[in-house]
Amino acid sequence: MKTVALPSGERVPALGLGTWMMGERGGHDRDAVNALKRGLDLGMTLIDTAEMYGDGGAEELVGEAIRGRRDRVFVVSKVLPSNASRTGVVAACERSLKRLGTERIDLYLLHWHGSVPLGDTLTGFAELKRAGKIRYWGVSNLDLDEMEELWALPGGNGCTANQLLYNLGRRGIEWNLMPALAARGIPVMAYSPLEQGRLPGKRALKEIAAARGATAAQVALAWVLQRPGVIAIPKAANPTHVAENRAALDLVLASAELAALDRAFPPPRGKASLAML
């Protein structure tokens, strides 16, 4: 398994498991749990979830999937901005821990920046870290100006990751946000690396896939996985799809193929608004 270094030096899988839109139906989802377990078996031992996903339902599914092997899994979850006050983030984390069935979250993220001052959220994160409830904290969907605001705060240099929308069709963060994060050793956690299944229909991806005996989805995912300092967290709701994603790690795109993808999906030529889903 390819790994990516966190600012602490700890290394985590470059390819993990996303859970957005899991747990939406309520109750038990055996297919989703089996998909997550299959991913863990294949070495994709980073799982990303959030209190927002399925109103906590996704965290419950993750809890079931990791039962019996918690120490071999790097668990990421996220707190809603409305719960991100100093006391609110502590209470939200306690609820997430209960749903996950664990005593700690490895990486706890602010889902996006809302009305609560970032300093209040950092205070809550610091309390959780001191109590051993979280190992690291980070953010999601924060653009460069918000990251600079964060870094200027006491303790702001403790940010471990920024989870962002990033794929071949959403390359705006390459202009200035990714370089700023890379300069501090902060990885990008790329959500929706396949643009919710829309990218594989593009001709450039299909052509490369046909020549390589792969799927267009694997080519799109392989492109993300070849970006330095990037962790991809595609969501897959069945074991077959998970195995297909895992195979993308073994697909190394040649320079000519990367150039063809740059022509089809050009990198940014200037600053753009941060994209979110």
Domain annotation covers residue 220:
no
Residue 243 clears pLDDT 90, i.e. is over it:
yes
* Residue 91 resides in a domain: yes
Residue 111 lies in a domain: yes
* pLDDT tens sequence across 21-77: 898 876 568 899 999 999 999 999 999 999 999 999 999 999 999 999 999 999 999
- Give the tens place of pLDDT for each residue, 194-222: 998 899 999 999 999 999 999 999 999 99
Tokens 């941060």, residue located: 274
152, part of any domain = yes
Note the pLDDT of residue 28: 66
pTM: 0.96
Mean pLDDT of 7-24: 95
Q: Which of 53, 108, 136, 166 is catalytic?
A: 53
Whether 79 is in a domain gets the answer yes
pLDDT tens per residue across span 133-160: 999 999 999 999 999 999 999 999 999 9
136 is catalytic: no
Residues 94, 133: Cα–Cα separation, whole Å? 8
In-domain check, residue 209: no
Is residue 174 included in any domain, yes or no?
Answer: yes
Q: Which domain holds residue 37?
A: 3-197+229-238
Q: What is the tally of structural domains in the chain?
A: 1
Separation between Cα atoms, residue 131 and residue 140, nearest integer Å: 23
More confidently predicted of 277 and 190: 190
pLDDT score for 23? 84
CATH code (residue 108)? 3.20.20.100
Provide DSSP, 118-148: HHHHHHHHHHHHHTTSEEEEEEES--HHHHH
- The answer as to whether 255 is a domain residue is no
